[in-house]
């Protein structure tokens, strides 16, 4: 079956760096997405990776290894507003998005 695994919850300190991991198993692969979702709000797009490697976008970076079925989201210089859930979603060969349950990130001062 198709599956996304990511940690349920993580805690980090303001100003620090945190890495949120995601492993996926899909029938075929057409890319991996990361979305941010604040409590009670809609998801917002962070990144899309389809090729191996690291893509940097400001304080956020996303990495993909297709051979390992693995991705991570790296958040630098953490701010209190980064407290949110981070959703990993992989696209299968039918272009269907398989969503993870999300990682709740708690930032402490």
Residues lying near other proteins in the complex (CB under 8 A): 4, 30-31, 41-45, 48, 50, 87, 89, 91, 94-97, 99-102
Contact 36, 46 (CB under 8 A): yes
Choice between 30 and 61, CB closer to other proteins: 30
| Residue 5 in tokens | 């695994």
Nearest Cα to 24, choosing from 99, 84, 75, 93? 99
Choice between 69 and 102, CB closer to other proteins: 102
What is the arrangement of strands in the sheet containing 70-75, beginning at the earlier edge strand?
Answer: 3-5, 18-25, 70-75, 60-65, 53-57
Choice between 42 and 80, CB closer to other proteins: 42
Closest distance to other proteins from the beta carbon of 102 (Å): 6
Closest distance to other proteins from the beta carbon of 94 (Å): 8
Closest distance to other proteins from the beta carbon of 105 (Å): 14
């Amino acid at each position: 079956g198709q599956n996304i695994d990511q940690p349920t919850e993580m805690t980090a300190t303001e100003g620090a760096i945190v890495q949120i991991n995601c492993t996926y198993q899909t029938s075929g692969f057409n890319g991996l997405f990361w979305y941010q979702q604040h409590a009670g709000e809609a998801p917002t797009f962070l990144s899309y990776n389809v090729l191996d490697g690291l893509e940097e976008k400001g304080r956020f970076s996303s990495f993909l290894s297709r051979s390992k079925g693995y991705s991570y989201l790296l958040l630098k210089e953490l701010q209190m507003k980064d407290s949110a859930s981070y959703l990993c979603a992989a696209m299968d060969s039918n272009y269907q998005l398989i969503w993870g349950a999300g990682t709740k990130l708690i930032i402490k001062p």
